[in-house]
Structure 1
Amino acid sequence: MELKFRVIQSNDRGLITKQGDRTYARRGPAKGEETLELPTLFIWVSGKDRYLARCWTQWTGERLGDDFIYVVSWFRDVIDLHGDTRYHQWCSKQLRSELWTLERAALDLAGVSCPPPEDVYEADRHKSAIYLQRRKQRLREQTPALSPEDKELIEHAYGQRDRLNEEAGFIEYHVDHIIPLAKGGAHHPANLQVISARDNVRKGAKVRSPIE
């Protein structure tokens, strides 16, 4: 039977390390799962550091602003992902299963404590989530019919980005749309390039690439 995972990503707001720790997430439990304990992949990111806490969580029934508070009902371990950026809160089911079964030495986190959600809550986090949803919609709408060769080239570009980021130990490179999606650019290999994250952020929604 395929496990259904709850995935929570914490950008430097506290790493869960034991049973009873509480954290929060934008997504609430699905209908019918309000009282269920679910296996949880808690991805903690701070600069170049990227850790994974594997545990089971349950919704407390509490809300904090627009977020849902979860409690750790059973704790397994914390492992070091070594900056591997393939794993994030939107990663595929296959990658989630990989994370749950990944064999790495558990980190010794004696003395590390998770702050209460109320102490580290960020009320404006959802602005970036709204942007990502819009971006996903544009990707769907602006992807033309792709040949097998086109799909392979796209996969190669994202694979190159992931390899470079893994070597760097943090997200140093992005796959850039030369003509931005926001300007009507297509999600097609002819419109893709791998550039530094700094250059991509500087470029924003401009049409010309900063490295041209």
Structure 2
Amino acid sequence: MEQEYFGVSLEKLLTSGGQTLYMVAWSLIIGTIIGIILALILVLCRKGGLIENLILYNIVSIYINIVRSIPFVILLVAIMPLTRAIVGTTIGSTASLVPLVIYISPYLARLMENSLLEINPGILEAAEAMGASTWQTIRYFLLPETLGSIVLALTTGTIGLLGASAMAGYVGGGGVGDLALTYGYQRMNTPLMIFTVVVLVVFVQILQLAGNTISRKLRQHR
């Protein structure tokens, strides 16, 4: 008979942990790419930006504000038709990636926008004086100067995703949230509930420490 921990098999514990890591990792990767694009549009297209385009700026800004104003649980349910259209189902870890990406990309975009706006205007003036193109300005001036801040933004986003992925368990997304709900709360298994909380707290502490360390080193090497 397979050994159990907190009333759950080891295989189930490992599967739930793997599902959470899968959801967080992929949604963070895709959300980061989209977030950087949105952040660059906000910074470059704003009034006085390198490629001023107020129409595009306002469209992106309004979209970000709308998505960020919707609680994740409501967003999760509201976009189920879109999730089904993209993935073919609304259940499972892969299906949870759609709402997770839509949730995290605007959040990261705002954090990265703030980082990009903190750049010394003199750096952009120097890039312009050197005849750098928009892409060269982004590649060699904007992103390198804000790398430390971006790492902190990604750290904050990862922690937010961890909590959101747990909520995804309520609609069949799997992961730690589903484990805590199905095998912990519904079966009144308090030790398992405490165990999942402790695991999440430890994981968040490790993430924050790693993010702070990497960010500090990047700032020192600027």
Query: Would you say same fold, with TM above 0.5?
Result: no
Name the one with the larger helix percent.
2
Name the one with the larger strand percent.
1
| Greater relative contact order, per chain length (Cα 8 Å cut-off, separation 6+) | 2
TM-score scaled by structure 2?
0.27
Name which one, 1 or 2, has greater alpha-carbon Rg: 2
